[in-house]
Amino acid sequence: MSIVVRIDVELARRKMSVGEFADRVGLTPANVAVLKNGRAKAVRFSTLDAICRVLGCQPGDLLEWVEEDGVEQTEQTETADRTT
């Protein structure tokens, strides 16, 4: 399973720079880059709230779940191995 963060899409729609966004949300530009590049392991609800307030969007506009290739097959194989 992979969660894709779409902050860059929302910033482009609003023609907002990463610097302005970071200032308004209260994050460093480096932490915004971590979110944009999909390297974040977690996001606090308070941060998600601030991002949605600044961008005027819903969490679903920013986050998308995408199934990774082969993950489902691997999980099915592991489940089958445990039951036999």
1-38 pLDDT tens trace: 589 999 999 999 999 999 999 999 999 999 999 999 98
What pLDDT does residue 68 have?
Answer: 84
Q: How many domains does the chain have?
A: 1
**Host H or E run for residue 66:** strand 63-66
What pLDDT does residue 69 have?
Answer: 78
CATH of the domain at 34: 1.10.260.40
What pLDDT does residue 26 have?
Answer: 97
Per-residue confidence band for 57, with pLDDT thresholds at 50, 70 and 90: very high
> 3-class SS at 19?
helix
> 66 and 55 in contact (C-beta within 8 Å)?
no
Instruction: Report the predicted TM-score, pTM, of the whole model to 2 decimal places.
Output: 0.76
- The whole-chain average pLDDT of the chain stands at 87
Give the C-alpha separation, 76 to 15, whole Å. Answer: 44
**Host H or E run for residue 72:** helix 71-83
Q: Which domain holds residue 39?
A: 2-83
